[in-house]
Chains A and B, each alone.
Chain A
Amino acid sequence: MSNDSYTRHIPPFSDVLSELPPQFPDETETDVVVIGAGPNGLLAAAYLTAAGLDVTVVERRFEIGGGLATEEILFPGHYANTHASYHYMVDYLPPLTDFDMAGQGLRYHKPYGQIGGVFGEDYVYLCKSFEDSRDALARFGIDQADAYGRMATRFHQIVDEILAPATYLPPDPPVDLTQALQRTAIGQDMLEVSEMSALELISSYGMRDSIQATLLYSACQWGLSPIESGVGFMVPLMVDRGTQKAFIQGGSHRLASSFARVILRQGGLILDNAAVVEITTDGDSATGVVLDDGRKIRTRKAVLSTLDPQSTFLRLLPAEAVPAEVRDAADGWVWDKWSLLSVFFVTKGKPQWKPNPNNGMIGLPTPFDTILGFDDTEDVTSFFDSIEKGEIPKFAGHFTVETEFDPTLSQVEGEDVCFFQMPAPYDWDWDGRGDEVVREVTALLDSHYEGFAESVIDCVVETPKTIEQRIPCMRRGSIKHGDYNPLQMGFNRPSVECSSSRTPVNGLYLGGASMFPGGMVIGGPGYIAAQVICEDIEVKFPFDRPDRLKRYLDTYFPDGKD
């Protein structure tokens, strides 16, 4: 259907109302347009409005949030976090302390039990408390608990001192970074870790296979190859943060709506149902955007795109405005290795774990996610390998009973919401084999949860294709807008020209998951973009850097960064 079907007709209406009710103007002007209201776009807009700028956020969907979606896909009466549910960075996200987010209704809950790994007869249980995890593992031998302790301590130091602060600062060229990290033992550790693959790193601690398998799955589930080296620093991050995940009360969308409240209060404007079809330019400068209904928004200062590089550089910008090397880089952009399959269920009552006196599970609080369906480390490794090749060797993945942590997701008493999720290839016969997916996943869950199959009331399958349909910048279901591999990480993400938010197009900035440091709800790209934009247009960034960032800079870059 074409754009002109936005009939602004004013048929019989006009002779009835002497004046038409006001309509949103066809052309407006603002300091900054933010394209995309995902976590990064919203976070950036919160900072930019706080800096006193006039900001318009434009979102294609009928709801803001991007990956922060809590919607009634289990219609009627049941909500699900269609995309992100696990919040990895709540201990570090600067806006949580800079803005009054709780005052807008935001509440996190970090479940006591974080990860359950079911491998053969073993049940690996990891908690948010490091010591409690060690206690739980001591069942397999004190040496096991000790090995885990060594690993977890090291990983945590790397995250806390380096990776977490670096998430919120523009990236450094590899040579500079290597030099900087040489300054401390932890830095050297991190350099060493980076060269290893996930499998090498995790197995280097000599832990029991079931523990390794649990950790390997947790490290790789969001799109890291177990055997690829060069992005090993992701392992400490995913493992350490994987035991510190939080759930948002009322659903992940609350984070988006809390940002929206902050933005509106600070004078920003949010437009939904508004897809950008063009970034306008004048010479080599971005001047605004055009929306799908023909409306134009001109920018006085900046356009911030949180979309993937192909959308930004190949579709929205006119070809002549983009330098060849940036076009080439966008053209060669590699999408995520795999996407996700999620199966959401409504059940009568919460799924109950089948008691198994051998695995010591009895009496422990339900973990946030439980890894099911794998045999051992080798199985996990070959599973990821097959998925990457576009095959589904079996249905295995992680499972979360959402209403255990947030009863508000079900509006119907006695009915609960849970979901199963697993890495999945984009190219698969999703339409033809939908029934098989439900059957297999239900059978898997039924084998671990008492009477599960019988308790199912409703079920919705979200495939890599539906991810792309809901959010087109997650092309091929790329939940991070692009693969994690050495050529697309760090200073290279999305390309050396654009990884610090600035682009060769004047006034155009990047700030989404395809930019350094990457995807997930970590807020790094948005935070960096806001800092860089403030710097370039010479307004004061409205908040002091968090102390952790200052310490990192003092330690590793005592002479300053350029």
Chain B
Amino acid sequence: MSQTTAPAVDPTTGQRLDKRSSYDFVVVGGGPNGLGIAAYLSKWGFSVCLVEARPELGGGADNAEPIPGCSIDPHAVYFYGAAGPPLEQLDLASYGFRMSFIPNYGGCITHDHRAFFGGNTFHDSSSRDPEVYVEMLGVDRDTAKMYLEFMDALRPRMRDFFRSIYWTPPYDESWGIPKAQTPVARVLRDCLPMYDDAMLDMSFNEMMDALALPDPVRAGLLLGSWGNGPHPYWKGMALPGFACTQLQFFSGCTPVGGMHALAHALARCALANGAKIFVNSPVSEIIVHDGVAKGVRVADESLLEEKTIWANMGVINNTHVKSLPKLVSSDHLTKTFRQRIADLSLKGGSLYVANFIVNELPEYSDAPERYEGSNYPSGMALHCTTDALMELMRDVHTYRMHPTDLDHYIAWYIVHAPHDPTRNRSNLPGGVVTVNLQVPAPEDHKDGPLAVNDAKYEILDNLKQVLRHYAPNMTEDKYIKSVINTPYDSEQRNMGFVGGNWMGMRQSEDEWWARKPLPELARYRTPVEGLYLCHQTSYPGGLCLSAVPYNLMHILKEDYSEIEATTPEWWYPSPWHLTDAEGARGRSSLSTGGDG
């Protein structure tokens, strides 16, 4: 227990009683990744100061309560990080973090009412009967058997599969390690009889072809990939696409109380270990002396009297990689580098998010009876076929999509209420249920960013129509309140969501693994010594997995002998991690990196 300290500043007069603030590390941004690294470093024993621009911590891990007793998720909705080391290493449960596991992640209904309802059996190893899958997936017996075998082979290595892809720092491109030797390829080759290196170059859609999965299960998985990772038609992204859909089934949950509970747990871990955290304090500059990051300057509007916060060891940037040239003076970044950052694509992750507060659960007319109670589907892809999804993506990526075109309302309808009663603290008769909806949208619009905002109410009406089509009980009188954040609003709310892009920037092969966000930045280092990246624009991208801070710790351990020397017993690295020295020895060193 640390001692109470005397006031440094009188909160009523602002009179300063201390001298200068300096910490071992300064973290810029209090999103889940910023909070995660603050928690790691402070638990490791270093002094940390985190500064966040907004009035609330949490970045995308946020909740709001637009009507009393009913909280909504403006951004992230599911926690997928159960399989990763951070939950355990940071012991988030001891700070109150709770998960409600979801037996039925949901399904998909096509516009002509072909329905897939995943449910318990979908991934339950105890149901061995291929006939069940014949019925559920709408496939023949051979395909069902193939699918079962595939999952049987993968299931025992599922955690390794996840960790090899998310919780491992990317290799340096210059080491020349071929794709077939990346951790994920090694894990799959090891366990999947049907594994083929060709999978590495496929799109997720092509992988579905290989597994012969038809709609609607296929369309559901494709939308799952779109919503949690790469677009299903992007080449070379089959495995990341597949992985993020499996996170839902095997590593996902509803965080009890909402996603902001994750931010609370991370922040409390950091605070309990001595970190300082300030909100309402946008950083205007990362101070660099002689090529080394020395601290940050907070903007004038910050509450802090001290406008400069010094970092004795390093500065960690939890803001979008595109803000790097704004925060670091041009003296320290070359023109080419700045241009390369400016050229990074934001395409493909923007969403309209609507939250409908209603007074009863949608009852899907296509649902078999057994999907009730806690087996109620948590997420449903509605109005969705593979073809329609491909068409939508084409239009989104070419900015053609019109926000009020009803054909484009392929949406992911998410309901937490059956799995998390804390979401219903209202005393309204019958209680309340929030239906969260996410629709792919262009990050910008041909008629300007506000075109979407102007169409807000029309969009809400269309979404209600779609929902009612599949859940006829959702008549107008069931709606208590509806709110929406467009890509434009999401960016206004959170400077990390540039273009309203939920994952910061795209997850395509040219910006993935050793190239994310740029090859020279892939190992979280920057051209400025002592300045590191810890945002979803670094590998492995969007999602609140705390993977970025976990991976970054490997690199910091290499760069700082103080960190290496104080490695605590709770830390364990990724078995596939290669240090710079190991990597530089190239392929031969792979034998020293464990295979899980």
- State the A residues within 8 Å of B (CB): 1-3, 5-13, 15-18, 21-25, 49-50, 52, 60-63, 70-73, 75-77, 79, 90-91, 96-108, 110, 246, 249-251, 253-254, 257, 260-262, 264-267, 269-275, 292-293, 407-409, 411-412, 460, 466, 468-470, 472, 542
Query: Chain B: which residue is nearest A1 at the CB level?
Result: B421
Q: Which residues of B contact A (CB under 8 A)?
A: 1-2, 4-12, 14, 18, 54-56, 63-69, 71-72, 74, 82-83, 87-88, 91, 93-103, 120, 122-125, 155-156, 158-159, 249-251, 256-258, 260-261, 264, 268, 271-272, 274, 276-281, 301, 303-304, 373-374, 417-422, 424-428, 431, 483, 485, 489-490, 492-493
Q: Out of B94, B103, B261, name the residue touching A7 (CB < 8 Å).
A: B103
Whether A266 pairs with B68 at a CB distance below 8 angstroms is: no
How long is the Cα–Cα vector from A422 to B453 in the complex, in angstroms?
Answer: 33
CA gap between A285 and B249 in the complex, in Å = 46
Neighbouring B residues of A62 by C-beta, 8 Å: 63, 65, 71, 257-258, 260-261, 422
Contacts A16-B250, A264-B272 given; indicate if A269 touches B95 (C-beta within 8 A): yes
Residues on B with C-beta less than 8 A from A104 are 276
A272 near B419 (CB under 8 angstroms)? Answer: no
Please, which residue of chain B has its CB at the minimum distance from the CB of A271? B96
Question: In the complex, given contacts A17-B159, A21-B88, A100-B7, what are 5 additional A-B residue pairs having Cβ atoms less than 8 angstroms apart?
Answer: A12-B120, A63-B63, A73-B64, A108-B11, A466-B67
Q: How far apart sit A278 and B483, CA to CA, in the bound complex (Å)? A: 35
Given the known A-B contacts A16-B83, A107-B303, A108-B12, are A22 and B91 also in contact in the complex, defined by CB atoms under 8 Å? yes
In the bound complex, do residue A273 and residue B256 qualify as a contact, i.e. CB atoms below 8 Å apart?
yes
* A73 lies within 8 A of B88 (CB): no
Contact between B11 and A106, CB atoms less than 8 A apart: yes
> Which residues of A lie under 8 Å from residue B249 when comparing CB positions?
12
Tell me whether A250 and B257 are in contact (CB under 8 A): no
Whether A266 pairs with B83 at a CB distance below 8 angstroms is no
Q: How far is the CB of B380 from chain A (nearest CB, A)?
A: 18
A21, B492: Cβ atoms closer than 8 Å: no
B268 touches A472 (CB 8 A): no
In the complex, A43 Cα to B258 Cα: how many Å? 26
Most B-side CB within 10 Å, residue of A21, A70, A264: A21
Min Cβ gap B55→A in Å is 5
A554 CA to B304 CA, complexed, in Å = 39
- Given A23-B93, A91-B12, A108-B12 in contact, is the A77-B492 Cβ separation under 8 Å? yes
Complex interface: chain B residues within 8 A of A15 (CB): 125, 155-156
CB distance from B415 to the nearest CB of A (A): 12
Most buried by B among A71, A72, A411: A72
Check if A22 sits within 8 Å of B87, measured CB to CB: yes
Between A and B, 23 residue pairs with Cβ closer than 8 Å are A1-B417, A6-B256, A7-B374, A11-B123, A21-B83, A22-B88, A24-B98, A72-B66, A76-B485, A105-B277, A251-B55, A254-B279, A257-B279, A261-B271, A264-B271, A265-B2, A265-B274, A272-B261, A273-B256, A275-B425, A292-B421, A293-B421, A469-B428
* Those 8 A-B pairs whose CB atoms lie nearest each other, nearest first: A273-B257, A102-B9, A469-B68, A16-B158, A102-B11, A12-B123, A264-B271, A273-B422
With A6-B421, A249-B280 in contact, is A411–B54 under 8 Å at CB?
Answer: yes
Question: Smallest distance from the beta carbon of B192 to chain A beta carbons, Å?
Answer: 15
| Known pairs A102-B8, A264-B271, A408-B301; A11 contacts B101 (CB<8 A) | yes
> Which residues of chain B have C-beta atoms less than 8 A from A272's C-beta?
96, 257, 261, 264
Contact check, B425 vs A61: say whether CB atoms are below 8 A apart: yes
Q: How far is the CA of A192 from the CA of B78 in the complex (A)?
A: 62
- Known contacts A6-B421, A7-B103; is A17 also within 8 Å of B4 by CB? no
Contacts of A266 in B (CB 8 A): 1-2, 4
Q: Give CA–CA (A103, B306) in the complex, Å.
A: 11
Q: Contact at A103–B276, with CB atoms within 8 Å? A: yes
Q: Which residues of B contact A22 (CB under 8 A)?
A: 87-88, 91, 93-94
Cα separation A130 to B102 with both chains bound (whole Å): 61
Q: Are A407 and B301 neighbours in the complex by a CB distance under 8 Å?
A: yes
What residues on A are CB-neighbors of B96 within 8 Å?
A: 24, 269-272, 274
Q: How far is the CB of A473 from chain B (nearest CB, A)?
A: 13
Query: Which chain A residue shows the least CB distance to B261?
Result: A273
Given A10-B101, A21-B88, A266-B4; A469-B69 close (CB under 8 Å): yes
B7 touches A99 (CB 8 A): yes
Given the complex of chains A and B, what is the CA–CA distance between A106 and B485 in angstroms? 30
Bound Cα distance A542, B6 (Å):
12
Contact indicator A267/B280 (Cβ below 8 Å): no
Contact indicator A267/B11 (Cβ below 8 Å): no
A270 touches B303 (CB 8 A): no
Expressed in whole angstroms, the Cα–Cα distance for A408 and B100 within the complex equals: 34
Other-chain contact of A71, B4, B11, B18, B65 (Cβ < 8 Å):
B65
Q: Which residues of B sit under 8 angstroms from A273, Cβ to Cβ?
A: 98, 256-258, 261, 422
B281 partner residues in chain A, CB cutoff 8 A = 105
Report the separation of the CA atoms of residues A265 and B1 in the bound assembly, to the nearest whole angstrom: 7
User: In the complex, which residues of chain A have a beta carbon less than 8 angstroms from the beta carbon of B260?
Assistant: 62-63
Max count, chain B CB within 10 A of own CB: residue among A11, A254, A409: A11
User: Nearest Cβ in chain A — how far from B189, in angstroms?
Assistant: 19
Of A24, A257, A468, most buried by chain B (CB within 10 Å of CB) is A24
Closest residue of B by beta carbon distance from A467: B68
Shortest CB distance B263–A (Å)? 11
A30 to B294, CA, bound (A): 42
For B122, the chain A residues whose CB sits under 8 A away are 12
Query: How far apart are the CA atoms of A201 and B260 in the complex, in Å?
Result: 49
Q: How far is the CA of A471 from the CA of B125 in the complex (A)?
A: 45
- Contact check: which of B2, B63, B87, B431 meets A21 at CB < 8 Å? B87
Asked if A9 and B303 make an inter-chain contact with CB atoms under 8 angstroms apart, the answer reads no
CA distance A24 to B94 in the complex (A): 6
In Å, the complex CA distance between A407 and B55 comes to 11
Q: Could you say which residues of chain A place their CB within 8 Å of the CB of B155?
A: 12, 15-16
Contact pick for B492, options A2, A76, A90, A267, CB 8 Å: A76
CB of A17 within 8 A of CB of B69, answer no
Residue contact B55 to A249, C-beta cutoff 8 Å: no
> Which residues from A are CB-within-8-Å of B493?
76-77, 411
Chain A minimum-CB-distance residue to B278: A105
User: With the chains together, A60 CA to B490 CA distance in Å?
Assistant: 28
Q: Which residue of A lies closest to B15 (CB)?
A: A102
A18-B159 in contact (CB<8A): yes
A76 CA / B494 CA spacing, docked (Å): 11
Q: How far is the CB of B36 from chain A (nearest CB, A)?
A: 15
Residues of A within 8 A of B424 (CB): 1
A residues near B257, Cβ cutoff 8 Å: 62, 272-273
Shortest CB-to-CB span from A527 to chain B, Å, is 15
Q: Which residues of B contact A261 (CB under 8 A)?
A: 271, 277
The answer to whether B99 touches A408, judged by C-beta atoms less than 8 angstroms apart, is: no
Q: Which of A98, A100, A246, A254 has most B Cβ within 10 Å? A: A100
Alpha-carbon separation in the docked complex, A16 to B68 (Å):
39
Q: Which of B9, B264, B431, B490 contacts A1 (CB 8 A)?
A: B431
Bound Cα distance from A72 to B54, whole angstroms:
12
Q: Is the CB of B55 within 8 A of A79?
A: yes
**Complex CA distance for A443 and B304, rounded to whole angstroms:** 39
* Complex alpha-carbon distance, A466 and B489, angstroms: 26
Instruction: Tell me which residues across on chain A come within 8 A of B159, comparing CB atoms.
Output: 16-18
Give the Cβ gap from B86 to chain A, nearest Cβ, in Å. Answer: 10
**Pair A21/B55 contact, Cβ less than 8 Å:** no
Taking a contact as CB atoms under 8 Å apart, the answer to whether A469 and B7 are in contact is: no
B418 x A101 contact (CB < 8 A): no
Given A102-B11, A469-B68: A21 touches B120 (CB 8 Å cut-off): no
Query: Across the interface, which residues of B come within 8 angstroms of A96, CB to CB?
Result: 7, 10-12
Bound complex: CA of A262 vs CA of B276, how far in Å? 10
